[in-house]
A and B are shown apart, each in its own frame.
Chain A
Amino acid sequence: MVTAAIWPALDYSRVPYRLYHDDEIYAREQERIFRGPVWSYLGLDSEIPEPGDFRATWVGDTPVVFNRDKAGAVKAFVNRCAHRGALVRRELSGNAKEHICIYHQWCYGLDGSLMAIPFRRGIRGEGGLEPSFEMRRHGLRPLNVDNINGALFGTLAENPEPLEDYLGPPILHQLRRFLDRPVRVLGYNRQRIRGNWKLYAENTRDNYHASLLHEFLVTFGLDRSTQTGGVRMDARHRHNITWAEADSDTDELAHEAYAGAGVRNDFLSLKEPSLVAFRPERGDKLNIAITSLFPSAVFVQISNSLAVRQIRPRGVGEVEIFQTMLGYEDDPPEMTLHRLRQANLVGPAGLVSMEDGEAIEIAHRASRPDLDRTTVIELGGGGVISDRDYRVTDVPLRGFWSYYAELLGIEPEGAVR
């Protein structure tokens, strides 16, 4: 049984490999995190515009359906029949008047309540359920649902912290900026990575790796650590925004900075430069804004490509990254085309993201034999966890681990938060 003694350092600058590989820890994460007090991203309001529209998703390992009921309200529930535990809704999306389990045809309404059971009274007075069977006690298990500008979140906690408090002011501000107009789904993509889900959660908070692993960023001049940027967290440091501003450095500065970094710094140019051209869409210069929410959602703006990533754990050694590509409803066709072109940057084939799949797999593979050894998280220094106005840092990883330790009940006495 893992305890607070697992941590060699009270500032989470050392993370034991065991946390990525242990089945018992994985089971505890499912219970204490995903089925615990967190809010998980479910999907988008615009994905279920009409009454009866539904989508299936996951909260950790738990299958979930969200739908719009007849009155127009969004409801979400565990996608598991109260009778024998089978998946009720097998399709990933669609429109339905009710949800019927194929196994024994138990029928649930759009609010998740159990509406009908075949042969409830038996046949010719024989068999069936006892008259005392209470239908209302056997509905689909509901989630609490809330939304931020059309992004739907759900939680299995019965008395959750309000969503806005859970996110905190800087994150809320960023999500409202990202979702300042109604969005339109341009498509989905999925990636199965043979690595623990937390390696991906860390990756999205790790500003340090970006321009080193993803050489395209520097080689083709899209993003460099010499730009003005940094990391900003909520008060509990469980979420993070990695941000950078366009055109905020010079080639000379970048050339000098990358000279010793093992990354080619001769800045090639593209034959089709619009692939990396940033078109400002609002009154700020942010061209990189990666908002990582604990535990498993990432709202990503890279130049004009917009996406929401959902981190879906698939056991201790595999994770699916489910990504929804977005534009705005009022985008003119030419802007939609620009976003479809810039979709080349992200996702499993992304010019500035494909490497993450490989980095996570090699970290997972090599760390496995030595469970008591640790990673080193010290870029930007150890000790206090705080916002930084520079980019060569991985401080937000320590914020992630701090809240993780709290939820798992393994927070050491005197640890930083």
Chain B
Amino acid sequence: MTADHTRVCDLLAEYGALIDLGKFYEWLDLFAEDCRYQILPRENFDRGLPAALVYCDSRAMLEDRIRALREANKYNIHTDRHVIGLPRILDDGLAVEAPFAVYQTDQEGETRLFATGLYRDQLEISGPRLKIRDKLILLDTFAIPSLLATPL
């Protein structure tokens, strides 16, 4: 079974919007029960090195990340804006690539490009919905401006 282009676009749009709205627990629901999420600097990917900036290889670890963000971590006060490009749907229709840019705006309205890179997603079909089973974020902007707290 394959995913159609519209449903992939809907998922990506929902993905970016939920982060930009700060609805991180709802964002978690876009992931499958058995999932992996990682943000990998392109510098490491190109050299075949595994260390990621964020590496969650279970739903539990991803939930812990979000809870830490909410309960413990302190970071630059900002809003995010995801601009997600047109997806390429590969292979069986459940492997998806999409370029992205994330802009950050501070409290005084100054915006800067925070990150750009490529999503490489492996999706699965869960009833009427698509869910993310494996999300590899290849980060072009691997010299992180200031710090990385909210998900990309």
Chain A interfacial positions (CB closer than 8 Å to B): 93, 185-194, 213, 215-216, 219-220, 264, 268, 270-272, 275, 320, 325, 336-337, 340-341, 343-344, 347-349, 351, 354-358, 361
* Interface flags, B36-51, vs A, CB<8A=1, else 0: 0001010110010111
| B61 partner residues in chain A, CB cutoff 8 A | 271-272, 275, 341, 344
Which B residues fall within an 8 A CB radius of A? Answer: 39, 41, 43-44, 47, 49-58, 60-61, 63-65, 67-68, 71-76, 142-149
A220: chain B residues at CB < 8 Å are: 68, 72
Contact of A349 among B47, B53, B74 (CB under 8 A): B53
A385–B128 alpha-carbon span in the complex (Å):
66
Determine the residue in chain A with the shortest Cβ distance to B63. A271
- A344, B74: Cβ atoms under 8 Å? no
Cross-chain contact B68 with A216 (CB below 8 angstroms): yes
Distance, CA A325 to CA B49, complexed state (A): 10
Complex CA gap A190/B44 in Å reads 11
Q: Are A215 and B74 in contact, with the CB atoms below 8 A? A: yes
Asked if B75 and A188 sit within 8 Å, CB to CB, the answer is: no
Contact B76 A361 (CB under 8 A): yes
Residues in chain A near residue B52, CB distance under 8 A: 187, 340, 343
When distances are taken between beta carbons in the complex, the residues of chain B under 8 Å from A189 are 41, 51, 53, 142, 144
Q: Do A357 and B73 touch (CB < 8 A)?
A: no
A206, chain B: closest CB distance, angstroms: 16
Q: How far is the CA of A361 from the CA of B76 in the complex (A)?
A: 9
- Residues on A with C-beta less than 8 A from B67 are 268
Q: Which of A185, A325, A344, A358 contacts B147 (CB 8 A)?
A: A358
Complex: A219 Cα to B69 Cα, angstroms? 12
Please measure, in the bound complex, the distance between the C-alpha atom of A268 and the C-alpha atom of B72, giving whole angstroms: 10
What chain B residues lie within 8 Å of A194 (beta carbons)?
146
A-B pairs with beta carbons under 8 Å apart, 24 shown:
A187-B49, A189-B41, A190-B41, A190-B43, A192-B143, A216-B68, A220-B68, A264-B72, A270-B60, A270-B64, A272-B61, A272-B64, A341-B55, A344-B55, A344-B65, A348-B53, A348-B144, A349-B149, A351-B65, A354-B73, A355-B73, A355-B74, A357-B75, A357-B147
The reply to whether A357 and B143 form a contact with Cβ atoms under 8 Å apart is no
B144 pairs with A191, CB closer than 8 A? yes
The minimal Cβ–Cβ distance linking B22 to chain A, given in whole angstroms, is 17
Residue from B65, B145, B147 whose CB has the most chain A CB atoms within 10 Å:
B147
CB distance from A12 to the nearest CB of B (A): 28
Q: Given A193-B147, A275-B61, A358-B147, 18 other A-B contacts at CB below 8 A?
A: A187-B50, A188-B51, A192-B145, A192-B146, A220-B68, A264-B71, A268-B67, A275-B64, A325-B51, A341-B55, A341-B61, A343-B52, A344-B55, A344-B61, A348-B53, A349-B39, A349-B144, A358-B146
CB distance from B49 to the nearest CB of A (A): 4
A187-B52, A272-B64, A275-B61 as given contacts; A348 in contact with B148, CB under 8 Å: yes
Nearest CB in chain B: distance from A302 CB, A: 14
Question: A220-B72, A271-B61 given as contacts; is B41 within 8 A of A188 (CB)?
Answer: yes
Interface centre among A193, A272, A347, A349 (most CB of B within 10 A): A349
- In the complex, are the beta carbons of B75 and A192 less than 8 A apart? no
Question: For residue B143, which residues in chain A have a CB less than 8 angstroms away from its CB?
Answer: 190-192, 320
Q: What's the Cα separation between A123 and B44 when bound, in Å? A: 46
Q: How far is the CA of A201 from the CA of B65 in the complex (A)?
A: 27
| Complex interface: chain A residues within 8 A of B39 (CB) | 349
CA–CA, A337 to B146, complex, Å? Answer: 27
- Given A192-B146, A271-B61, A275-B61, A351 and B55 contact (CB-CB distance below 8 Å): no
Instruction: Give the nearest-CB partner of B38 in chain A.
Output: A340
